[in-house]
Structure 1
Amino acid sequence: MNAGPVTAAELARAGAALAAESARFAELGWMRGTSGNLSVVLRDDPLRLAVTASGRDKGELVDQDVVLVDAAGAAVADQPSPGQRPSAEAGLHARIAATTGAAAVVHVHVLAPVLAAERWPDGLVLRDLEMLKGLGRAAHDDEVTIPVVPNSQDMTLLGDRFARVHDPGIPALIVARHGVYVWGRDLAQARHRAECLEWLAAFALAAHGRPTPIG
């Protein structure tokens, strides 16, 4: 990863990538209204992330609809493209990136995992499903629990809840009655994992609909 301050050109490239991914999710109905946010890591030390700007229709973002934030999720004062406001949830993006080493985090309001969290508030337990490969797990004889945490408007509290349930082998978190956070080595992998999580949650709801392991 590059060293030194983030340049305007770097932030614009990140903004273009985030806009393209946001449009994909909006088309799926996973970023309704102005909801949801995506991020990519641009620097490790100190941590700097490019995050989609708050209050924008995620299906209509442009390169400039991006904010450079620090490890606390606050806009960097001398960012190369000032004037945009980050979502309050940028703090959790930064916490996840710092904890997991992920280079991209997606937060979307996909319905199936949120409904699954209503049925299984202690975690969505899955096994013996081919789609688990999409989360980097084995298709057979590998029990996977997608963690669920209660929602909060306090990102420090929500980050602490994430830290308590985080399993390095599970690249996803369900926030009850809210949405999901999924991460990966880049935006494409994070998106693929989000798509697989949606399928897995939909399967669990359709096949069982009761709080027992899938298998």
Structure 2
Amino acid sequence: MSKSHTQSIIDAGRWIDAQGWCPATGGNFSRRTGAQEVLITASGRHKGHLQDTDLLQVDLAGHVLDSDLKPSAETLLHTRLYQLDDQMGAVLHTHSVNATVLSLTTPGDWLQIEQLEMQKSLSGNQTHDAAIRIAIFDNTQDMQALAQDVAQRWQQGALSWGLLVRGHGLYAWGRDMPEARRHLEGLEFLFACQLELRRLGVKPAVEGARS
């Protein structure tokens, strides 16, 4: 595997750990290494202390390629995302407090965000005036079922930048690792603003909408 591929995941892990977005051994990070291959963190590894020996290669069906390491069950959602978009280059799954709390306290299938300049950190957004929506999925231990739910909504053209899993955390992605990191950081800022607005009793026009 490419040293640059490995180092980009290690560096992302150290940065994300410094933000407090992946406590304990939570989360999973991956990046595409070929048309049908993905490099991903092994199960049970602390993301702030990753080494190259904590990463393994899987194919897009989630099968381990030449490694004795155990992949996380959440690997199946990563590989499904790569199947859905052949331009996707990296996926970062985190467990921040803000993402987790928002996912639990937002009714419906969407978190809607508007009137925040940081919306422009997300690719394709040129203004704060256009509302954005982040999809929310109910948590389940059946990753095949969750991956299928994500695929169904993806086919509706309804997913961009990331998604929330209720009571679990955030998946953010991009065409490469720098874009995935930018989307993650931008979304985390937007989530923090949403929670502060709620704390202050300021309600956006539409917070949650059932699809």
- TM-score range (shorter-chain normalised) is 0.7 to 0.9
User: Equivalent of 1:58, from 47, 60, 83?
Assistant: 47
Partner of 2:96: 110
User: Equivalent of 1:85, from 49, 65, 70?
Assistant: 70
User: Equivalent of 2:166, from 154, 158, 176?
Assistant: 176
User: Equivalent of 2:120, from 133, 143, 157?
Assistant: 133
Structure 1 residue 83: Cα displacement: 2.1
Give distance in 2, aligned partners of 1:17 and 1:64: 14
Matching of residue 213 in structure 1 with residue 206 in structure 2: yes
Count of paired positions? 199
Matching of residue 153 in structure 1 with residue 141 in structure 2: yes
Identity %: 33
Check whether the contact 1:146–1:172 (CA below 8 A) recurs between aligned residues.
yes
Give the letter for the 1:106 counterpart. Answer: L
Deviates more, 1:202-211 or 1:177-186: 202-211
**Residues 57 and 115 (structure 1), Cα distance of their counterparts in 2 relative to 1, 3 Å cut:** same
Question: What is the TM-score of this pair, normalised by structure 2?
Answer: 0.87
Point out where structure 1 has 5 or more consecutive residues left out of the alignment: 1-8
User: Equivalent of 2:34, from 43, 63, 67?
Assistant: 43
Structure 1 residue 211: Cα displacement: 7.5
Deviates more, 1:145-154 or 1:164-173: 164-173
Check whether the contact 2:120–2:128 (CA below 8 A) recurs between aligned residues.
no
Partner of 1:5: none
Partner of 2:16: 25
Give distance in 2, aligned partners of 1:89 and 1:112: 20
Q: CA RMSD in A?
A: 1.8
Deviates more, 1:165-174 or 1:181-190: 165-174
Check whether the contact 2:134–2:159 (CA below 8 A) recurs between aligned residues.
no
